A and B are shown apart, each in its own frame.
Chain A
Amino acid sequence: MQASVGIQLRMIINCPRNTAMNILQMLLAFALLFMLVTPAFADEVTVYTVSIKDHKFDPAIVEIPSGKKAKLLVKNLDSTPEEFESHDLKREKIVPGNGEITVLVGPLKPGEYKFFGEFNEATAQGKIVVK
C-alpha cells in the first residue's frame, strides 16, 4: 500500500500536462471572469475612520446605519503592525505600523459587531453598532 502511493505520485509527474494545465487555466479564467463581471465597489460609500493608538482603537465604538455599505479606514498610529480582525464581520487584515487599511463592511443588519486587534487582544477591542 505504501509503495503504491509513492508510485502513484511519481506517475502524476510523468503524465501529460495537457489536462492538468487545462484545469488550472479553467480555474484562473473562472476567477478572472468573476472579478470582471462583478461590478466594482461603488464610490459613494461612507468612510468611518478608526485609529489605533497605544494598541487601542479610537473610537472604540462606531455607529453605522443598517442596510448600507460602509468603509472602515483603520489608521495605525503605532509603529508596530496590528491585525484587524472580526469574527462577526468576517474580516481579517493586517494594518502595517504607521500605515492604514480600508475594510469593506455591510450591508449589515442591526446589532453589534465586535472587532479586535489580534496582536494586542487585551487592549485592542472595539465594536460596530448598527442601528
Chain B
Amino acid sequence: MLATAIILFREVLEISLILSVVLVATRGIPGRMRWIWLGIGGGALGSALIALFAQNIASAMEGVGQEVFNACILLAAAAMIGWTVIWMQTHGRELSAKFNNVGKSVREGETPLYVLAVVISLSIWREGAEIVLFMTGILSTTQDSLLSIMTGGMLGAVAAATIGLLIYFGLLKLSVRHLFSTTGILLTLLAAGLTAQAAGYLSAAGLIPDLIPELWDTSAILSTENLLGSIAHSLLGYTERPSGVQLLFYVVTLGFITLMTRKYAPQKSVK
C-alpha cells in the first residue's frame, strides 16, 4: 500500500503543480472552468490511450519513440505557455484601459480558451500514462488486497492534490500583492522547466548532444526526491544534475520569452 501511495503521490504532484500555476494565471476569466475540465478529461483519456500503445510508442523511431514523444509533448506545452505569456504581457496594459465591456469579453474570449485545455491535457498525458500503466500492472499481480492498493493510491493522490491546492492559494496571494506580473514570471519559469526536461529526453534519445554531461550536482543541497525539490522541479524547472544542453534550453527559453515580451511591449504605458 505504501509503495502505491508514494508513486501516485509523485505523479499526481507534478500534474497538480502545473494545474495550480495555470489556474492562478487564468483566474477571472469567465467560462474557463469548462475548458479546464475538458483539459483534465482529455488528459485522462489520452493517458489511457498512451498506456495502451506504450509498446508501439517505445519501439518507434528505432527504440527512442518514447523519448521523442515525451519531448514533443513537453515542447508543445512550453510553446503554448510561452505564447500565452508574450501576449499577456504585451497587450494587457495597452488594452485594459479601453476595455470595459464585460459582456463583450465573454463572447470574444470563450472560443480560443482551448489553449488552456490543450496545455492541461499535454501536462497530464505524460504523468497520467505512467499512472495508468503502474495501476494496471500492480492490480493484476500484487499480493496486497484490492482495498489496500486503492487506499494507498487515493492517499497518495489526495496528499499530492492537497499540496497542489496549498501552492495554488500561496501563488494566488503572491500575485495579488505584487505589482509586477507574477503570473507572467511563473508561466515563463514553467515553460523553461519544460524545455529543459525536453532537452533531457532528446539527449537520452541520442538526437542532441549533452554538451556537458553534468554541469553540477546539487542533490545534496536540494534533492528532487523530496517534496521541496519536487516543487522546485515542477514550478521552477530546477534540475539537480543538469546537462549542458538542458541549461542551454532553459536559458534560451527564458531569454526568448522575455525578449519577445519586451519587443512587443506597448511603447508608452499610461495608467
Seen from chain A, the residues whose Cβ lies within 8 Å of a Cβ on chain B are 1-15, 19-20, 23-24, 27-28, 31, 34-35, 38, 41, 71, 78-83, 87, 90-97, 99-104, 118-122
Q: A35-B207, A80-B141, A81-B134 are in contact. Are A1 and B105 (CB under 8 A)?
A: no
In the assembled complex, B45 has its CB within 8 A of some CB on chain A: no
**How far apart are the CA atoms of A71 and B205 in the complex, in Å?**
11
**How far apart are the CA atoms of A22 and B74 in the complex, in Å?**
19
**How far apart are the CA atoms of A11 and B93 in the complex, in Å?**
10
In the assembled complex, B251 has its CB within 8 A of some CB on chain A: no
Cβ contacts under 8 Å, B264 to chain A: 19
Name 23 interchain pairs, CB-CB below 8 A, sorted by A. A2-B176, A3-B28, A7-B105, A9-B109, A11-B95, A11-B99, A12-B88, A13-B115, A15-B87, A20-B86, A24-B79, A79-B140, A80-B140, A81-B137, A82-B137, A83-B133, A93-B66, A94-B66, A96-B55, A97-B137, A104-B205, A104-B206, A118-B7
In the assembled complex, B138 has its CB within 8 A of some CB on chain A: yes
For window 1-39 of chain B, which residues contact chain A by CB distance below 8 Å?
3, 7, 25-30
Measured CB to CB, the closest approach of chain A to B130, in angstroms, equals: 7
Question: Do A34 and B133 touch (CB < 8 A)?
Answer: no
Closest-by-CB residue of A relative to B66 is A93
Q: A1-B176, A12-B84, A24-B79 are in contact. Are A80 and B64 (CB under 8 A)?
A: no
In the assembled complex, B144 has its CB within 8 A of some CB on chain A: no
Question: Do A79 and B141 touch (CB < 8 A)?
Answer: yes
Measured CB to CB, the closest approach of chain B to A118, in angstroms, equals: 7
Question: Do A12 and B63 touch (CB < 8 A)?
Answer: no
The DSSP consensus for interface residues of chain B is: helix
Question: Do A83 and B105 touch (CB < 8 A)?
Answer: no
Seen from chain B, the residues whose Cβ lies within 8 Å of a Cβ on chain A are 3, 7, 25-30, 54-55, 58, 62-64, 66-67, 75, 79, 82-84, 86-88, 91-92, 95-96, 99, 105, 108-109, 111-113, 115, 129-130, 133-134, 136-138, 140-141, 175-176, 179, 181, 183, 200, 202-209, 219, 240-241, 243, 260, 264
Measured CB to CB, the closest approach of chain B to A23, in angstroms, equals: 6
Across the A-B interface, the 8 shortest Cβ-Cβ residue pairs: A6-B28, A80-B137, A8-B92, A102-B63, A12-B87, A10-B109, A13-B112, A81-B133
Closest-by-CB residue of A relative to B2 is A122
Question: Do A14 and B109 touch (CB < 8 A)?
Answer: yes
**How far apart are the CA atoms of A94 and B138 in the complex, in Å?**
14
Cβ contacts under 8 Å, A96 to chain B: 54-55, 58, 133
Q: A13-B113, A78-B141, A94-B133 are in contact. Are A8 and B86 (CB under 8 A)?
A: no
Known: A13-B112, A13-B115. 14 other contacts (CB 8 A): A6-B28, A8-B91, A9-B25, A10-B108, A11-B87, A27-B79, A71-B63, A80-B138, A81-B137, A99-B58, A102-B62, A104-B64, A120-B3, A122-B3
Measured CB to CB, the closest approach of chain B to A36, in angstroms, equals: 10
Measured CB to CB, the closest approach of chain A to B252, in angstroms, equals: 10
Query: Which residue of A34, A83, A100 contacts B130 across the interface (Cβ within 8 Å)?
Result: A83
Cβ contacts under 8 Å, B79 to chain A: 23-24, 27-28
**How far apart are the CA atoms of A81 and B219 in the complex, in Å?**
28
Query: Which residue of A35, A93, A119 contacts B134 across the interface (Cβ within 8 Å)?
Result: A119
Question: Do B29 and A101 touch (CB < 8 A)?
Answer: no
Query: Which residue of B88, B95, B207 contacts A38 across the interface (Cβ within 8 Å)?
Result: B207
Cβ contacts under 8 Å, B134 to chain A: 81, 83, 119
Q: A5-B28, A96-B55 are in contact. Are A23 and B86 (CB under 8 A)?
A: yes
**How far apart are the CA atoms of A6 and B207 in the complex, in Å?**
40
Question: Do B87 and A20 touch (CB < 8 A)?
Answer: yes
Query: Which residue of A34, A38, A80, A90 contacts B241 across the interface (Cβ within 8 Å)?
Result: A90
